[in-house]
Chain A
Amino acid sequence: MKSKAKYVLFFVLPATAMLCVFVIYPVARTFTLSFLNSDGKFVGLQNYTRIFSSRDIIDLKGFSRGFPLGALIHNLLWIVVHLPLTVILGLSLAVLLKNVKGGSLIKSIIFLGMVMPMIVGGVMINFIFDRNLGIVNGVLSIFRISGKSWTAYPDTALFSLIFGSVWLWTGFSVVLYSAGLETIPKDYYEAAQLDGASSWKIFTNITVPLLRPITIVVITMTLLWELKVFDIVYVATMGGPGGASNVLALQMYTYAFRAFDFNRSAAVAVVLTLSTLAVSLSLLKSVKDEQA
Chain B
Amino acid sequence: MNKKLFWTILGWVVGLIWIIPFVGVVMTATRPLDELLKGWWNFESFHPTLNNFVSALNHPTASLRQGMFNSLVVVLPATFFPLILATMAGYGFSRYKFPMRRTLFAVVVITLALPQQTIAVPIFQLMNWLNLVDTYLGLIIVHTAWGIPWITFFMRNFFTTIPKAMEEAARIDGASDIAIFFKIVLPMALPAIGSAFALQFTWVWSDFFLALILIYSPNKLLATQRIPLMRGVYHVDWGLLSSAAILVMIVPIAVYLLLQRYYIKGMIGWSLK
Contacts and interface: CB of A to CB of B under 8 A. Distances in A.
Given A11-B91, A128-B21, A135-B24, A115 B178 contact: no
A194 interface: no
A117 B208 contact: yes
A138 interface: yes
B114 interface: yes
A287 interface: yes
Contact of B15 (A109, A138, A283): A109
Given A96-B7, A138-B41, A256 B208 contact: no
Given A108-B260, A217-B271, A266 B121 contact: yes
A21 B145 contact: yes
A138 B148 CA distance: 45
Contacts of A23: 111, 114, 119, 145-146, 148-149
Contacts of B92: 7-8, 11-12
Contacts of B122: 25-27, 29-30, 33
B252 A117 contact: yes
B253 to A, nearest CB: 5
Given A7-B96, A133-B40, A176 B268 contact: yes
B270 to A, nearest CB: 9
Contacts of A8: 92, 96, 98
B37 A132 contact: yes
A200 interface: no
B256 interface: yes
A284 interface: yes
Contact of B12 (A102, A112, A262): A102
A276 B18 CA distance: 29
Contact of A269 (B21, B28, B121): B121
B54 interface: no
Given A18-B145, A26-B119, A256-B121, A96 B11 contact: yes
Interface stretch (B44-52, B58-66, B189-197, B240-248): B240-248
A159 interface: no
Contacts of B272: 176, 179, 213-214, 217
B233 interface: no
A30 B245 contact: no
B181 A11 contact: yes
Interface stretch (A56-64, A78-86, A204-212, A223-231): A223-231
Contacts of A15: 85-86, 88-89, 148, 152
A128 B238 CA distance: 12
Contacts of A268: 117
A76 interface: no
Interface stretch (A37-45, A46-54, A118-126, A184-192): A118-126
B169 interface: no
Contacts of A16: 89, 104
Interface string B140-174: 01101110110010000000000000000000000
Interface string B10-41: 11101100111110110010000000110111
A69 interface: no
A256 B256 CA distance: 35
B20 to A, nearest CB: 5
Contacts of A24: 107, 111
B224 interface: yes
Interface string B72-110: 000000000000011011011100101000001001111
Contact of B148 (A5, A19, A101, A281): A19
Nearest to B213: A257
A108 B257 CA distance: 9
A265 interface: yes
A97 interface: yes
A149 to B, nearest CB: 9
Interface in B216-258: 224, 227-228, 236, 238, 241-242, 245, 248-249, 252-253, 256
Closest 6 CB pairs of A and B: A11-B92, A117-B206, A22-B145, A100-B11, A106-B15, A15-B89
26 contacts: A12-B88, A18-B145, A22-B141, A26-B122, A27-B111, A27-B118, A29-B122, A96-B11, A100-B12, A102-B15, A105-B15, A115-B256, A117-B207, A117-B208, A120-B224, A124-B245, A130-B236, A132-B37, A135-B20, A179-B264, A217-B272, A256-B120, A268-B117, A269-B117, A272-B118, A273-B115
